[in-house]
Structure 1
């Protein structure tokens, strides 16, 4: 294994940074390529067929260009729809992102949990299966919020995001029939942990659970024993459409100093 071979993180936008962050903490000198399909953002409002076709093809191009040792689909929507398609198309380890329903159910005392994602994610049969397997004794309230995805993008771009706006984007879930007593909220979109502070302020009695730390541990496990550079190399951010220049400072905060297009 070449020490310079990167980890590839893939999302429709900047949400996957919430997965990159904990991975950096475990593997601090890992070379990183972060790819955002900004030309098709947001995935959560697109059709399943479009995502199932687009994601494997774009990942194939990224793998050819950057030769990663492992790829992470750091997007719940893309993972729940296209993970199997991508695994069939690629010959390298591929880690997906799925809603953290199991740990949420383990943590809940009231047995009422929320699954907050994109419209595309929360309607997937994969989520039905997770709820049946790991939260059968829970009331599971689902809500898809494309507005919250955009608020996360805005926050990373340096724009002010109010607690009231975040509350309004989530209120339909917490006010749904049967939602009384909800004590755990699954952040089933990688964008949403970027708004963890605002969500906590809006709903102080509800704990948040997301998959980022678990994915980081999985990546560290799959790369156990592999060589890494001695120094932290500059990371690369790749976009399918030009990003907002106001995002550059946030990307630099995650070690992504090189901006490219594909």
Structure 2
């Protein structure tokens, strides 16, 4: 970590459908504590897992634009594999500020493996995306990649983060399809390709065979955010403090989300940011 990173200035808005992107926000704050970081959750369309690709493509550029108008960031970070693999280019075309996306850490995992067999643990949507297949083809063509999509692990991670009751056996159950697959007994590296999953990295590691390394893209996203900020003219603004939480619907207190966000330092909940069609 360089002094330049530590002293970096500007405002960043980290975006996800729910609380998973908090793991990326944490990485950004760790390497650049002087940044003003805000967080946005698309509560008005959560969860993304049960929405069609067409609906998400239509929604994401518009909700991004509405959030940027309200939060006035210098950089918009899509801390969601589903949104990035589906609509990153569309969001970039809609906004007039830099956009940083989330890419599954397939390339570093392929470089790190010693056995030549890696796992990719994601949501079912990320697993089925052509974008993910292209990443594997481009960066992991010489290794075996075992893919598994888990919705249950997302729910488990959220319950854990909120200090709610959960079944600890679920961590081993989420990993079992990888280790039980052909060549699964030689997996030595697993990509956490959902931003929820680093919330329970320690629990997954404890449930995995000794020697398995878990890798995610959070630190890489943070470094890219800093690189982009270095080339960006920062907006003038009266308010300097970060730590705001933006939501995209009204009529619900979202107690679980607000509780977990507060633990990550996002304690000021602003008024709902609604799309024009919703007003």
CA apart distance, 1:247 = 4.0
Q: Distance in 2 between matches of 1:143 and 1:37?
A: 25
Matched, 1:119 2:129: no
Aligned to 2:229: 223
Residue by residue, what CA displacement relative to the aligned partner does 1:142-175 show, whole Å, maximum 9, x if unpaired? 1111111111111222214443112112322221
More displaced, 61-70 or 159-168?
A: 159-168
Q: Distance in 2 between matches of 1:196 and 1:21?
A: 14
Aligned to 1:158: 163
Aligned to 1:240: 248
Aligned to 1:259: 269
What SS is found at the alignment partner of 2:230?
A: coil
Q: Distance in 1 between matches of 2:214 and 2:97?
A: 32
Which consecutive aligned stretches of 4+ in structure 1 deviate over 6 angstroms post-superposition?
Answer: 225-229
Q: Distance in 2 between matches of 1:189 and 1:23?
A: 17
| From 209, 212, 218, the counterpart of 2:218 | 212
Q: Kindly tell me: are residues 221 and 234 of structure 1, through their superposed partners in 2, closer, same or farther at Cα, counting changes over 3 Å? A: closer
| From 70, 87, 99, the counterpart of 1:65 | 70
What TM-score comes out, normalization by structure 2 length? Answer: 0.86
Unaligned runs of 5+ in 2: 1-7, 274-279
| From 14, 17, 20, the counterpart of 1:12 | 17
| From 112, 117, 121, the counterpart of 1:107 | 112
Q: Distance in 2 between matches of 1:158 and 1:202?
A: 19
Unaligned runs of 5+ in 1: none
| Alignment map for 1:56-205 (pairs within 5 Å) | 56-205=61-210
More displaced, 25-34 or 162-171?
A: 162-171
Q: Distance in 2 between matches of 1:95 and 1:240?
A: 20
Query: Contact 1:29–1:233 (CA<8 Å) still a contact in 2?
Result: no
Q: Distance in 2 between matches of 1:120 and 1:248?
A: 26
The alignment yields a C-alpha RMSD, in angstroms, of 2.3
Query: Contact 2:121–2:190 (CA<8 Å) still a contact in 1?
Result: yes
What TM-score comes out, normalization by structure 1 length? Answer: 0.91
More displaced, 207-216 or 252-261?
A: 252-261
Q: Distance in 1 between matches of 2:84 and 2:234?
A: 28
Query: Contact 1:48–1:120 (CA<8 Å) still a contact in 2?
Result: no
Q: Distance in 1 between matches of 2:46 and 2:262?
A: 21
More displaced, 240-249 or 186-195?
A: 240-249
Q: Kindly tell me: are residues 113 and 26 of structure 1, through their superposed partners in 2, closer, same or farther at Cα, counting changes over 3 Å? A: same
Q: Distance in 1 between matches of 2:41 and 2:209?
A: 31
More displaced, 123-132 or 74-83?
A: 123-132
Q: Distance in 1 between matches of 2:101 and 2:202?
A: 25
Aligned to 2:30: 25
